[in-house]
């Protein structure tokens, strides 16, 4: 064991000397270069996460179909409302029905009463 520790001591001292020589300081020019590099990386990362160049996700606009309130909801009418609202999907919400609460901006929700008349239309 003593032989190993005697070999390790010079290596540790050499490493400490190397660290002390640099002292952890950078010249002003080196600091500027590092700052520019960090800014460039951040900009590239931001453009990747926002999906620059990709189209925005489809959205729904229920204002276009508000005139259907009071009409009977059948499959053909709901499908036409979906198309007119620009939604990807549509669902009919009946009174007392359990529904998921996740928001989907490309979905048209058609809320009906007990007689299957449209009470409201909203996206989400």
pLDDT one-digit tens code per residue, 18-32: 554 445 566 777 777
Q: Is 77 exposed, middle or buried, given 0-12, 13-18 or 19+ CB atoms closer than 10 A?
A: middle
- Give the model's pLDDT for residue 50: 52
pLDDT one-digit tens code per residue, 78-120: 999 999 999 999 999 999 999 888 999 999 999 999 999 999 9
pLDDT one-digit tens code per residue, 43-70: 666 656 555 555 555 589 999 999 999 9
63 touches 81 (CB < 8 A): no
- Give the model's pLDDT for residue 31: 74
68: left (phi over 0), alpha (psi -120 to 50) or beta: alpha
Pairing status of strand 107-112 against strand 118-123: antiparallel
Which has the closest alpha carbon to 94: 75, 110, 70, 77? 110
- Give the model's pLDDT for residue 26: 65
| Segments of the chain assigned E as strands | 89-93, 107-112, 118-123
Q: Is 108 exposed, middle or buried, given 0-12, 13-18 or 19+ CB atoms closer than 10 A?
A: buried
**pTM value > 0.75:** no
**Which token pair is 108?**
């048209």
């Amino acid at each position: 064991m003593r032989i190993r520790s005697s070999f390790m001591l010079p290596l540790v001292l050499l490493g400490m000397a190397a660290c002390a020589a640099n002292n952890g300081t950078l010249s002003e020019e080196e600091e500027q270069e590092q700052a520019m590099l960090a800014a460039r990386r951040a900009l590239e990362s931001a453009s990747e996460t926002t999906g620059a160049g990709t189209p925005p996700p489809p959205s729904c606009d229920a204002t276009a179909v508000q005139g259907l309130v009071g009409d009977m909801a059948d499959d053909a009418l709901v499908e036409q409302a979906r198309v007119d609202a620009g939604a990807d999907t549509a669902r009919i919400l009946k009174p007392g029905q359990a529904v998921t609460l996740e928001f989907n901006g490309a979905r048209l929700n058609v809320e009906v009463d007990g007689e299957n008349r449209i009470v409201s239309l909203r996206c989400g």
